[in-house]
Amino acid sequence: GLELALASDIIIASDTATFGAPETSLAIIPGAGGTVRLPRRIGISAAKELIFTGRKIDANEARELGLVMRCRDRSRHGRGRGRDGSASDGGGE
């Protein structure tokens, strides 16, 4: 999921989403470009920490790191506002 998200131009996450590179905790190298794209998105130091440790981060931390643009509160139905206060049309979910 993380590597697919990194291939996207815009990432809007549910406030319950988690992100990580679990392959590395199994001694498997991520194969879809995540190790190249992640440092470009969040910086080398933060990317190394996530890749080397296999640690998962929640949506709020992902937003703080610059991985996602917005977090959407999933407890609301239909139209609402994201955690950053921006309006949402509620469509396409």
Active site residues: 3, 23
Please list, in sequence order, all residues whose beta carbon lies within 8 angstroms of the beta carbon of residue 43, skipping any fewer than 6 positions away: 65, 66
Structure tokens at 35: 């190790």
Q: Would you list the DSSP string of 14-81?
A: ETT-EE--GGGGGT----SSHHHHHHHHH-HHHHHHHHHH---EEHHHHHHHTS-SEEE-TTS-SSEE
